[in-house]
Amino acid sequence: MALQDKYKELIATASSAGIEAKEQGGVLYVKGHAPSAAVKDQLWNTYGRIDPNFKSGDVVMDVDVAGVASGSKVKVTTQSSSLNIRKGPGTDQPVVGKAEHGDTVTVISKTNDQWWLVRNSEGKEGYAYAQYLTAE
Amino acid sequence: MTSKQFICAAAFAVAIFFSACGPKDQDMTVTVTESVHSAAPNVNSNVSDGVVTLTGTVSDEATKMAAEDAAKKISGVKSVVNNIVVTPATTTTPVTIAPSGALQQGVIDATKDYPEVTATVNDQGEIVVTGQVTADRWKRLKVALDALNPKRVNADSLIIK
């Protein structure tokens, strides 16, 4: 129960957004769909406040933003560089196109949590790393 | 006193009269209990001087509020003290942990843009991150690593600049 106590605020925030927090083997797993990017940010900020720099390693938080449907436009949120669009879902796959930081791309389908099939503004289609794509 | 003022005062007096002679606690208890139970079966209610106190445990905030609303709508209830505790239901389904093969590929993809860190998957299915990284970049990387469904992310030896 120590984890439940330590992360009480995080669990409450997650719970109010309909996100489940489950303790297993000394790790708290927070997994689910956030209703908006703001809620996802709020959860990560709360987590970071309780465990500065996420050093304890006692939480695994996998929260994606619900509502990114096929056909929707998403923004490229790399730190500054352009985003690679690849032939297949993996960094070992050849780069077939790019999308600049701040550009929007169209989501064709979500292959998995990590890789989404997208189309850039030039019409090039391929797989991009989902962590660098943010719903508008 | 104008006639309008008089009507207002009379209406106010009638309202006071009726609330003072409102349904008795014991009569209300049954109605309140039924109403609250239909919203939240595990919540107990107690009525005292028209004040309903709700106690018990529910699995989410919505049920807690629904129980309160259910009590409030009963005539004669002056106020509701909501002492319901929200405890998310603990289901027995275990958390999905990625097999280490998938995790290894995922770690390679996630750390491609982070040459300053080394991330490996150990025997226990943990991602072990070492190196030196800025707090901001580490946060972004941690978000990506957690999304791979690891058992845990071990950053014990990671230096945050």
Q: Is residue B2 scored above 70 in pLDDT?
A: no
For residue A53, give the nearest of B88, B138, B151 by CB distance: B138
pLDDT band at B91 (very low <50, low <70, confident <90, very high): low
Domain made up of B3-86: CATH architecture: 2-Layer Sandwich (3.30)
Which token pair is B123?
A: 């025997």
The pLDDT of residue B88 is: 73
What percentage of residues in chain A have a pLDDT greater than 90? 79
Write down the domain spans for chain B. 3-86, 100-160
Torsion, Cα of B70, B71, B73, B76 (10° steps): 160
Q: Is residue A80 scored above 70 in pLDDT?
A: yes
Mean pLDDT of chain B: 86
pTM here is 0.65
Fold of B100-160: Histidine-containing Protein; Chain: A; (3.30.1340)
pLDDT band at B21 (very low <50, low <70, confident <90, very high): very low
Q: Is residue B20 scored above 80 in pLDDT?
A: no
For residue A131, give the nearest of B143, B149, B155 by CB distance: B143
Which token pair is B30?
A: 């049954």
- Binary contact (B139, A24; C-beta < 8 A): no
CA distances, A98 to each of A95, A104, A106, A120, B110 (Å): 8, 11, 13, 7, 18
Q: Averaged over A20-28, what is the pLDDT?
A: 93
Cβ atoms within 10 Å of B6's Cβ, excluding its own = 10
Q: Is residue B101 scored above 60 in pLDDT?
A: yes
What percentage of residues in chain B have a pLDDT greater than 90? 57
For residue A60, give the nearest of B106, B150, B160 by CB distance: B150
Q: Looking at the DSSP assignment, which residues form a beta bridge with residue A61?
A: A30
- Binary contact (B147, A54; C-beta < 8 A): no
CA distances, A74 to each of A1, A106, B120 (Å): 39, 6, 31
Q: Averaged over B90-108, what is the pLDDT?
A: 85
Q: Is residue B16 scored above 80 in pLDDT?
A: no
Q: Is residue B76 scored above 50 in pLDDT?
A: yes
Q: Which candidate in A19, A49, A53 is best for mutational testing of the B interface (most B CBs within 10 A)?
A: A53
Q: Which domains does chain A have, with CATH numbers?
A: 2-65 (3.30.1340.30), 73-135 (2.30.30.40)
Residues on chain B touching A115 (C-beta within 8 angstroms): 109
Q: Averaged over A110-114, what is the pLDDT?
A: 86
CA distances, B46 to each of A64, A123, B20, B54 (Å): 42, 65, 19, 7
The pLDDT of residue A60 is: 97
The pLDDT of residue A12 is: 95
- Binary contact (A90, B109; C-beta < 8 A): yes
The pLDDT of residue B51 is: 94
- Binary contact (A57, B152; C-beta < 8 A): yes
Considering only residues A27 and B28, tell me which one the structure prediction assigns the higher pLDDT: A27
CA–CA dist A84, A100 (Å, integer): 9
Q: Which candidate in A11, A43, A98, A114 is best for mutational testing of the B interface (most B CBs within 10 A)?
A: A114
Task: Name the residue of chain B whose CA is nearest to A32's CA.
Answer: B147
- Binary contact (B160, A15; C-beta < 8 A): no
- Min mean pLDDT across A23-27, B15-19, B55-59 is at B15-19
The pLDDT of residue A120 is: 95
- What is the secondary structure of B139-153 as a DSSP string? HHHHHHHHTT--S-E
Task: Name the residue of chain A whose CA is nearest to B85's CA.
Answer: A12
Within 8 A by CB and 6+ apart from A117, the residues are: A107, A108, A109, A110, A111, A125, A126, A127
Q: What is the interface pTM, i.e. ipTM, of the complex? A: 0.85
In tens, the pLDDT along B24-64 reads 788 888 899 999 988 888 899 999 999 999 999 888 889 99
The pLDDT of residue A109 is: 92
pLDDT band at B73 (very low <50, low <70, confident <90, very high): very high
CA–CA dist B83, A85 (Å, integer): 53
